[in-house]
């Protein structure tokens, strides 16, 4: 079984309505959404806006982008509230929920939970994810989403966690929680999530880490899923530190003709972001 790619035949029927609804917003828009950037660093917002816009200009499909750099107080967004089928990107949320719930009950993860979590993040193991999803249940998952302020995220029904609806806004909220002290996730929990995201197998290190400098530490989780509507969903979320910066990038895409096409789109965005921040 290829890890990270869903092959459930029932998914088409189960998720078709959600996918169609998710795609309706950009299709109905009167104008193409524009990249929006703000920054405390003079000139950086304009440069990022120009370069991200150029990176997505000739790419087919629907692309959503989020960037936040704590150091320069820089934020960029494109289609920040457009919903996408999560595919395996939701696995970071599953792990965060597991750790959040364990903290509430003042306990450590069991050996089984630790093994499942490692396989889920580092190898994008679907079976491990399904076991943890069933163990947690929708009540705990929704509880974490509420605590995290991830109000735009809608868990997939009937065990179809890969059809969870996610947005750039909420993924960026999650990455901010993972990378800075907060009351939702303990410091140990945050360190554990980052540790596993930094141990992703080499074949899954594409996406947002692309084009970073050799001095930039990375943590990544990708997702990819082909369905009969909107082609391939290909997503990447990553956090990065080094070179005087502390930043996170989310790129969500669907309508890709192939998985590789989506990967190339994401990496085109990531490359200019890393370049522009390194030069700032």
Each residue's pLDDT tens digit, 191-231 = 999 999 999 999 999 999 999 999 999 999 999 999 999 99
What is the arithmetic mean of pLDDT over 136-143? 98
231: DSSP letter: B
Give the integer Cα–Cα distance in Å for 94 and 116.
11
Alpha-carbon distances of 85 from 49, 53, 62, 130, 135, rounded to whole Å: 26, 23, 12, 16, 22
Query: pLDDT value at position 50?
Result: 98
Closest alpha carbon to 280 in 79, 35, 51:
51
Give the integer Cα–Cα distance in Å for 118 and 1.
18
Q: Tell me how far apart the 2 most distant CA atoms of the chain are, in Å.
A: 52
Residues in CB range of 34: below 8 A, 6 or more apart:
53, 78
Mean pLDDT of the chain: 91
Q: Is the pLDDT of residue 107 over 70?
A: yes
Q: Is the pLDDT of residue 4 over 60?
A: no
Query: pLDDT value at position 23?
Result: 42
Q: How many Cβ atoms from other residues are within 10 Å of residue 61's Cβ?
A: 18
Give the integer Cα–Cα distance in Å for 123 and 125.
5
Closest alpha carbon to 35 in 74, 79, 70:
79
What is the arithmetic mean of pLDDT over 139-153? 98
Two structure tokens written together for 167: 């947005």
Query: pLDDT value at position 32?
Result: 80
pTM tops 0.95: no
189 sits in which H/E element = helix 187-197
Q: Is the pLDDT of residue 17 over 80?
A: no
Two structure tokens written together for 195: 């540790």
Q: Is the pLDDT of residue 25 over 60?
A: no
């Amino acid at each position: 079984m290829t890890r990270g790619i869903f092959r459930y035949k029932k998914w088409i029927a189960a998720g078709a309505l959600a996918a169609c609804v998710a795609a309706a917003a950009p299709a109905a828009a009167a104008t193409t959404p524009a990249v929006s950037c703000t920054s405390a660093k003079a000139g950086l917002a304009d440069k990022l806006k120009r370069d991200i816009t150029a990176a997505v200009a000739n790419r087919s499909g629907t692309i959503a982008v989020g960037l936040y750099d704590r150091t320069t107080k820089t934020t960029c967004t494109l289609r920040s509230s457009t919903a996408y089928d999560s595919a395996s990107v939701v696995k970071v949320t599953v792990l965060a929920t597991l750790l959040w719930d364990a903290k509430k009950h003042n306990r450590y993860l069991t050996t089984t939970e630790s093994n499942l979590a490692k396989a889920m993040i580092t190898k994008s193991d679907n079976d491990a994810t399904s076991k943890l999803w069933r163990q947690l249940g929708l009540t705990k998952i929704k509880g974490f989403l509420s605590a995290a302020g991830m109000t735009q995220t809608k868990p997939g029904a009937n065990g179809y966690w890969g059809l969870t609806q996610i947005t750039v806004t909420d993924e960026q909220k999650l990455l901010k929680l993972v990378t800075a002290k907060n009351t939702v996730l303990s410091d140990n929990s945050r360190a554990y999530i980052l540790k596993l995201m930094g141990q992703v197998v080499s074949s899954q290190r594409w996406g947002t880490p692309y084009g970073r400098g050799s001095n930039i530490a990375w943590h990544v989780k990708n997702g990819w899923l082909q369905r009969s509507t909107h082609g391939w969903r290909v997503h990447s979320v990553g956090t990065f530190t080094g070179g005087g910066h502390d930043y996170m990038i989310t790129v969500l895409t669907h309508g890709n003709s192939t998985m590789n096409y989506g990967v190339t789109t994401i990496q085109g965005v990531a490359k200019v972001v890393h370049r522009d921040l390194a030069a700032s």
